[in-house]
Chain A
Amino acid sequence: MVTADWIYLVPLFPLMAFVANLLWGARFLKNKAAWVSIAASVAACAVALPICVKVFGGARFSNEFVWLTIGSGTLRFGYLVDPLSASLLSMVTIVGTLIQIYAAGYMAGDPRFSRFFAYVSLFMFAMLTLTIANNFILFFMAWEIMGLCSYLLIGFYFEKTSAAKAGFKAFLTTRVGDVGFLIGMLTLFVTLGTLDFSEINSLLTGTSQARLGMNTGLLAMSALCIFCGTIGKSAQFPLHVWLPDAMEGPTPVSALIHAATMVAAGVFLIARSFVIFMAVPGTMPVVTTIGCVTAFMAAFIALTQTDIKRILAYSTISQLGYMVTALGMQGLGAGTFHLITHAFFKALLFLAAGSVIHGTHVQDIRQMGGLFKKMPHTALTFIIASLALAGVPPLSGFWSKDEILLTAFASGHSLVFWTLLLTAFMTAFYMFRLVFMTFFGKARDPKVHAHESPALMTLPLWALAVGAILLGIPGSPMTHHWFQRFLAHAIHHPEYHPSTFVMTCSVVAAISGIALAGIIYLKNIHRAEAIAKTFRPLYQLSFNKFYFDEIYSRYIIRPFNAVGAIFFKFDVSIIDGAVNGAGTGSLWIGAVKNWIDQHIVDGLVNFMGTFTRLLNSIVKRLQTGFVQNYLLIAFLSFLVFIIWELKLI
């Protein structure tokens, strides 16, 4: 029977797969590498799901061992399976397995096939560790390893300069957030003396909170710093720029890491440290604002993009913004719920898009069109997922998005509510712009010869589609928000009664968005250009992604490099130059030094030289070179010495 301690095995299976694929993949496993990884995932599923079922039944597990001694205390590593981690755990194992099965088909024939699965297994290991981690350090370690995997997988086709650059950018950008996260952890540790989730929970909820009254400043700082981690990892404004570029990676990676799991980990982080945010309510508006801005901005950018994966990437950013907004309004249940449903339909969207790319070998939607007939499975599943994302009832996306809108509406954030509603409208519009341009109409590019993907790829699509359709049920009013109440076991947060007004608004926004997209893109494609011309500044802003990359490159990256170059110059010319006494310094220091050298230092040196030579010209007379002369001097000196010593005179 599966006991709780077996959960150690859950991350270990992928780790073993990683080691196996890394060491023997290229030489022995070759095409079987995929099956090693998939088997590991399935095994992890087999262990994790029974435990999750127990947790859904109300159980809660934790265990730990001492990892490191800090100061007077200790850091204990272990697992913590509570409702939050159980829901994420089940999602990650299922989605992860399905995506790996898909990848086995998608990546077939790649020269670094085994390497790909090694990385994916390492990622699975890190993600699973993260979900069951019981403290911030372990969480952070897994978090960073995920970042590494993301880096490696984005740059998987590293011969392509753009891919290598994208990986670099992704790692560095998230690292900015991670440094904030690290400082947040340090602050937290100094403030509370522990990094254990359960201990933090018990410290910050209940009676002891009064004792910590004086620490709220530090606590707020730690909460905001930890939120930096989310901003980086979940691609929130202003660190969202890496995610669209991350689409350089293979599509299954985009689905797994950059849609379903890793980017969601940032949201999970807020959920994990929810009590900290709750303890200092002043931090919540910051979270809401960031989330809301991100949601709207990303959706706005997605309106005009033409790369199929980039549209999805911006859509991901937008949806993550949704979740963050929800959490910022204390909607833990709503945010997490959207996290789970989004993972399914967004993974499905990416996989289907991958299938399209696999079949057509192009990524630009302007070159596609009329693919519905040629790849029906792909098209159907894609449309299902799009409907879910747009928020059409009764698909899962509707229920979870509705929860978030409800939270915004009921908690009185009306500005947030209307922004989110507008975003929902835009979401429906750009998704169906994508659908219509890809699957309907006429084929626009005669060079594209599309074909349906193999069953190995379409089967996971359908499996995910089932999830995308049904997963809304547990959180819907039909089950009386079972999921939210299940999560609320852990943390108390407000509950709201379902509102017909909100639902109506949501449905209207979705339907009108779809309809508008249909009018513009299904009937007359030229109308789009006309609209773009009418709203030229807005169009430019959206098309150029608010110029974020340009701004960052000009005002952050270039100054950084310049500072490096200046420091180096400083080092070589001034510090080193001062050391060497060489006049390679920058101009004025060089000039000053030069003057000093010539007039004072050199003068002194020259004087010393002259003086020495003067002495020398006298003393050198003694150096005749005749041995006997020396002897005579020695002898006479000896005599003088004797006379002196014997006091004879």
Chain B
Amino acid sequence: MDFLQLAVKTGIYALMAGTLVFALGVVTLKNLFHAALSLAAVLIGTAALYLAFHAEFMAAVQILLYVGAVITVIIFAVMLTEHIAERSILQHNKQSLPALLGVLALLVLIGKVLLKTPWPVNPSTLDARVSVSDLGVALMGTYVFPFEVISILLIGALIGAVVIARKGSHP
């Protein structure tokens, strides 16, 4: 194990830790705008993690789609409803404590299971690189049906979103 590897390893762990911190920020920050920004940070962190997994295309999609599109939409929404998102208003409801306890219990439980499970590792795919063309072939071949379903869903959602948000449909 050379230094570089160690550095990379440390970097990844640091990345994960940072991402978790931002994630905490997402759910705790009072200002929704800030929360949205931390979400962006989380997403970027995740994208970086993808790079470490040699999933470059996924990283690109993550950045483009999530950070580029979704976050933008969210921020728009936040700004459109902004005057309510003031500091003075309570941003969390009264069930924080049970929720927290539940989540912790979940973490402990699943974590225990995760650690106990002997994860099978297939050495042949461990270092396999997935090229974009491989993805394309898989999408258009094996998974063409779900792909099409997703596209229909997208269209539907698009139309639906337009219809719902259209002014005048609700007086």
Contacts and interface: CB of A to CB of B under 8 A. Distances in A.
Tell me if chain B binds chain A: yes
A632 B93 CA distance: 12
Given A632-B102, A635-B99, A646-B113, 10 more contacts: A628-B93, A629-B95, A632-B95, A632-B99, A636-B102, A639-B105, A639-B106, A642-B109, A643-B109, A646-B109
A646 B105 CA distance: 14
A385 B93 CA distance: 117
Interface in A69-89: none
19 contacts: A626-B93, A628-B93, A628-B95, A629-B95, A632-B95, A632-B98, A632-B99, A635-B99, A635-B102, A636-B98, A636-B102, A639-B102, A639-B105, A639-B106, A642-B109, A643-B109, A646-B109, A646-B113, A648-B109
Contacts of B93: 626, 628
Interface of B: 93, 95, 98-99, 102, 105-106, 109, 112-113
B95 to A, nearest CB: 5
Interface string A93-136: 00000000000000000000000000000000000000000000
Contacts of A626: 93
A222 B67 CA distance: 104
Contacts of A629: 95
Contacts of B95: 628-629, 632
A639 B109 contact: yes
Nearest to A648: B109
Interface in A618-649: 626, 628-629, 632, 635-636, 639, 642-643, 646, 648
Contacts of A646: 109, 113
A639 B102 CA distance: 8
Nearest to B110: A642
Contacts, number: 22
Contacts of A642: 109
Contacts of B98: 632, 636
Contacts of A636: 98, 102
Contacts of B105: 639
Nearest to B106: A639
A629 B102 CA distance: 13
A637 B95 CA distance: 15
Nearest to A636: B102
A378 B29 CA distance: 125
A642 B102 CA distance: 12
What's the dominant secondary structure at chain A's contact region?
helix
A648 B105 CA distance: 12
A647 to B, nearest CB: 12
A646 to B, nearest CB: 7
Contacts of B99: 632, 635
Contacts of A639: 102, 105-106, 109
B12 to A, nearest CB: 29
A145 to B, nearest CB: 72
A449 to B, nearest CB: 90
B92 to A, nearest CB: 10
Contacts of B109: 639, 642-643, 646, 648
A632 to B, nearest CB: 5
A392 B10 CA distance: 148
Contacts of B106: 639
A622 to B, nearest CB: 14
A255 B58 CA distance: 111
Q: Which 5 A-B pairs have the closest CB atoms?
A: A636-B102, A632-B95, A639-B105, A635-B102, A639-B102
A636 B102 CA distance: 6
Contacts of B112: 648
A154 B129 CA distance: 107
A642 B108 CA distance: 12
Interface string A497-525: 00000000000000000000000000000
Nearest to B103: A635
A646 B108 CA distance: 13
A629 B94 CA distance: 10
A628 B95 CA distance: 9
Contacts of A643: 109
Nearest to B101: A636
Interface in A187-240: none
Contacts of B102: 632, 635-636, 639
B91 to A, nearest CB: 13
A628 B27 CA distance: 14
B109 to A, nearest CB: 6
A605 B45 CA distance: 64
Contacts of A632: 95, 98-99, 102
A642 B98 CA distance: 17
A629 B95 CA distance: 8
Interface string A132-170: 000000000000000000000000000000000000000
B98 to A, nearest CB: 6
Contacts of A628: 93, 95
B99 to A, nearest CB: 6
Nearest to B93: A628
B113 to A, nearest CB: 7
A13 B14 CA distance: 116
Contacts of A648: 109, 112
A636 B93 CA distance: 17
A336 to B, nearest CB: 95
Contacts of B113: 646
A71 B122 CA distance: 84
Nearest to A643: B109
A639 B104 CA distance: 11
A408 B106 CA distance: 118
A140 B98 CA distance: 92
Interface string A445-473: 00000000000000000000000000000
A635 B99 CA distance: 9
B102 to A, nearest CB: 5
Nearest to A632: B95
A632 B101 CA distance: 11
A635 B105 CA distance: 11
A38 to B, nearest CB: 83
A629 B93 CA distance: 10
A160 B113 CA distance: 101
B117 to A, nearest CB: 11
Interface in A298-341: none
A517 B123 CA distance: 140
Interface string A251-275: 0000000000000000000000000
A576 to B, nearest CB: 49
Nearest to A642: B109
Nearest to A635: B102
Nearest to B112: A648
A341 B140 CA distance: 108
A635 to B, nearest CB: 6
A114 to B, nearest CB: 72
Contacts of A635: 99, 102
